[in-house]
Amino acid sequence: MNSRAGDIAYGTGEGRGRKAPEELRSHQWYGTDGLRSFSHRARTRQLGYLPEEHLGKPVIAVLNTWSDINPCHVHLRDRAQAVKRGVWQAGGFPLEFPVSTLSETFQKPTPMLYRNLLAMETEELLRSYPVDGAVLLGGCDKSTPALLMGAASVDLPTIFVPAGPMLPGHWRNEVLGSGTDMWKYWDEKRAGLIGDCELAELESGLARSPGHCMTMGTASTLTAAAETLGVTMPGASSIPAVDSGHDRMAAASGLRIVDLVHQDLRLSRLLTREAYEDAVAAVLALGGSTNAVIHLIAMAGRSQVALSLDDFDRIARTVPVLANLRPGGRHLMEDFHFAGGLPAFLSRLTDVLHLDRPTVAHPTLRAQLDGVRVHNDDVIRPRTNPLADEGGVAVLRGNLCPDGAVIKHIAAEPHLLKHTGPAVVFDDYRTMQRTIDDPELGITPHHVLVLRNAGPLGGPGMPEYGMLPIPEYLLKQGVRDMVRLSDARMSGTSYGACVLHIAPESYVGGPLALVRTGDAISLDVAARSLQLDVSEEELARRRAAWTPPPQRYTRGYGALYQEQITQADTGCDFAFLAAAGDVPDPYAG
């Protein structure tokens, strides 16, 4: 698949003939002699379709997360048309389904609260309608795992179409990265180094086009993981959202899904243990978002693959960081795309990848990577010049996080990676926002900031609160990083010595609930250790005095969420969705 920089050559895989109409899943709805099939055919004519447009053809569901209030996906209305164009050309029959849009920008308290809702919607739509295969359109942080979790539970031939990164931001001859530079310049404003006029200019220059964040934040991390898993067309994850190549990729996905239906290449043949291990290796070598830990564990669980924090830590020790991308590096996703994109990146990891597994485009990953080249050795580093010697995320253990915690250590100031300091504890995010700048707290750069009640139940939904703000008076002294601990997540565009996903969370009585201001906390990333320096006897006394908070929800989706949500170390899926077992196809006759 040798190609020019910035262009994509799509493989076609191995053709295996075409299914007879009666072999298609949709035949149960359309092809029998009963009353129900008569009704289904009549209602399809009601939609304005001729019989020859759909009868006997693979029916392809195009699940679209477009909405007017999701800037990451605002272009997906057009991309769905390109997908459908490809499906028609390949002899299929496309049907577009609007599904929940999870906007990281606007949805509160966090779209993570609703990831499993989109997964449920995806699963039940694909199961209950007359479809033979699916094309999933998403990209903003939670939509990628949600769509793939739901699709994995149904196990039809499926292709994922990533939304693509937005164009780089610009301000006064500086290239801006969304998220990362938002945090940076907000702190510059708080420190008094820029004013309201500069901030207004930054508002206009930070996000210039449709598409998700163009740093190696959670969106780019998860779409890269999807490509590594083999469920996208080659190179799809880095194509800028507004590039004409993105439209071509969408059409190619529509063409390819029809072949996958005829081959009966289901997700279960792609989403294997080997594929998930490769996705973990890619995420770690990209210096990707800590959110990928939770999402990949949940996705693997839907594929009946047992993936754990220990797998992340084990693989992290075998791969270097080769992507020089913000927030841990210097470049942005458009640079990565024109450097060769993910195929070129994976070509430098072939010694740790499982190359003989299939992808949607090729019989093997080996064939998919054949002939690719890296076009910029500063953006995609050679193994002899890594950004870091080990993967960008470390898994921590200790009496403060018996079920684990994570830190993106390549995005932290190195001197803080081994640190002991006294805790300053905040019981909730609102209190922290209101009081963090109060000099009476006496916070110094040596302190450890602790936020609790921000986990899966406590948040609720585990919001991206983990990059706790540094007190304004310390920013004015030049301090830009401190050790910060929470049971929350943080944006993949964030940075700093932030320990996240502490499990079990404080809301359910995890050790974080027992920390008091003044307690000494020791972080040692090299030793993978996070320790509360308080005796077991004292912790037992505090535990006995702890009382659980009241439940937040008494009805609605929130009540289902609080009843079924699992902890961060097991992926924050719903217990009843992650359970093993089969769900039968509906009777359509």
With pLDDT > 70 as the criterion, what percentage of the chain qualifies?
97
Nearest-CA neighbor of 283 among 246, 251, 313, 257? Answer: 313
Q: Are 589 and 34 in contact (CB under 8 A)?
A: yes
Per-residue pLDDT band for 95 (boundaries 50, 70, 90) equals very high
Residue 589 confidence (pLDDT):
86
Task: Report d(CA 333, CA 225) in Å as an integer.
Answer: 15
Q: What is the pLDDT of residues 262-297, one digit of tens each?
A: 999 999 999 999 999 999 999 999 999 999 999 999
Residue 13 confidence (pLDDT):
43
Task: Report d(CA 492, CA 489) in Å as an integer.
Answer: 9
Residue 12, pLDDT above cutoff 70: no
Q: What is the pLDDT of residues 194-246, one digit of tens each?
A: 999 999 999 999 999 999 999 999 999 999 999 999 999 999 999 999 999 99
Phi, psi for 450 (deg, rounded to 5) = -125, 125
Fold of 57-167+209-369: Rossmann fold (3.40.50)
> Domain map of the chain by residue range?
57-167+209-369, 170-201, 394-545
Residue 297 confidence (pLDDT):
98
Phi, psi for 464 (deg, rounded to 5) = -85, 65
Residue 10 confidence (pLDDT):
59
Residue 2 confidence (pLDDT):
40
Q: What is the pLDDT of residues 152-175, one digit of tens each?
A: 999 999 999 999 999 999 999 999
Mean pLDDT of 314-343: 97
254 three-state secondary structure: helix
Mean pLDDT of 439-462: 98
Nearest-CA neighbor of 524 among 412, 443, 389, 427? Answer: 412
Domain 394-545 grouped into CATH 3.50.30.80? yes
DSSP structure string for 417-431: SEEEEEEEEESSHHH
Kindly state the helix (H) or strand (E) to which residue 484 belongs, with its residue range: strand 483-486
At 153, the amino acid letter reads: S
Greatest extent of the chain over all pairs of C-alpha atoms, in Å = 79
Mean pLDDT, the chain, rounded, equals 96
Q: Are 239 and 337 in contact (CB under 8 A)?
A: yes
331 three-state secondary structure: strand
Residue 147, pLDDT above cutoff 50: yes
Tell me the CA end-to-end span of the chain in Å, nearest whole number: 45
Pairing of strands 520-524, 418-426: antiparallel
With pLDDT > 90 as the criterion, what percentage of the chain qualifies?
97
Residue 549 confidence (pLDDT):
95
